Amino acid sequence: MSKLEQSVKAHTAHIAANAILPEDIDYKNAERHIPFFKMIDSTTTSIVVVTDYYKHNYYYYSENLDKAFGFHNKISLMDHNWFRRRFHPEDHIINLAAVKALEFITQQPIEERKNYKFTFEFRVLNDENKYIRLIVQNFILELDNNGKVWIDMKLFDISPIQDINKPGVAVFSNKITREVIFTMEGQKESSENISNREKQVLGMIAEGLRSKEIAEQLFISVNTVNNHRKNLMDKLGVSNSSEAVSIAKSLGIL
């Protein structure tokens, strides 16, 4: 299974694990946003896509969703996973970043969960067999009665810089305080660049061993172990060892 397929699977699994029940939602709350969606459609060039995580489909989308990005079949675009599988292979990190963002949100007080914004830039293969670079801003609009994300809105725009060689990037932030919670960047052939020794160290980290214990078992210095840790985090686009282990498992490295 490719890294991209693995990341799609991880995202799908998270959504399934947080299923929404019909008794926990009221569509009157969703309907009140429709005038806002139409206003964006009529006054901007952004493509509006609103997802309903109870029905697992789009609650609202701009009529020119397909033509704007060079897709010929709007039916295919209605399949979330079909679209995610069109991501550039190096941009699989976007799917994993989405999972990380959702996991973070579930740990916050319910009254603060709508305060967060997920922005990502990535490359997607259209029906003209060309990669285009898109920028997406993702906002939470409605939660169910238990605080799970029910309705969200994504604003799609074509990036003004169509650099198809640059990996994607994701930024998760608080839209009220503007605090950046985390960033994740795609890496060119990141897992292929991980050496056998780095995989060995990563496996020991996953087992809960500290740098000193790893150094003793591998007969290397603690500094060397810490250098391996840093290299692993750089290659996997994460900020700490626990995230490196999590991403590595998602990618099938461990």
Give the model confidence (pLDDT) of 35-87 as tens digits.
999 999 999 999 999 999 999 989 999 988 888 888 887 766 777 778 888 88
For 3-185, CATH number? 3.30.450.20
Q: What is the pLDDT of residue 210?
A: 95
Q: Which two tokens stand for residue 86?
A: 């069109």
Q: How far apart (Å, rounded) are the C-alpha atoms in residues 145 and 148?
A: 8
Residues in the chain: 254
Phi, psi of 151 (to 5 degrees): -120, 130
Give residue for tokens 């959504």. Answer: 15
CATH 3.30.450.20 occupies which residues in the chain? 3-185
Q: What residues pair up with 170 in beta bridges, in sequence order?
A: 120, 184
CATH 1.10.10.10 occupies which residues in the chain? 196-251
Q: What is the pLDDT of residue 113?
A: 97
Q: What is the pLDDT of residue 13?
A: 87
**Is the overall model pTM greater than 0.75, yes or no?**
no
Q: What is the pLDDT of residue 223?
A: 95
Q: Which CATH class is domain 196-251?
A: mainly alpha
Mean pLDDT by 10 residues, the chain (254 residues): 75 88 97 97 94 94 85 74 83 90 95 97 88 95 97 96 89 96 76 83 95 95 94 76 76 72
Sheet hosting strand 149-158, strand order edge to edge: 57-61, 47-52, 149-158, 131-143, 116-125, 169-174, 180-185
If you write DSSP's letter for every residue of 108-143 in order, what string do you get?
Answer: S-GGGGGGEEEEEEEEEE-TTS-EEEEEEEEEEEEE
Of the chain, the percentage scoring pLDDT greater than 70 comes to: 93
Helix axes 93-106, 241-251, angle to 10 degrees: 120
Non-local (6+) Cβ contacts of 112 within 8 A are: none
As a whole number of Å, the end-to-end CA separation of the chain is 14
Q: Which two tokens stand for residue 114?
A: 């709508």
Residue spans of alpha helices (H) in the chain:
3-17, 27-31, 34-43, 65-69, 74-77, 80-84, 93-106, 196-206, 211-218, 222-236, 241-251
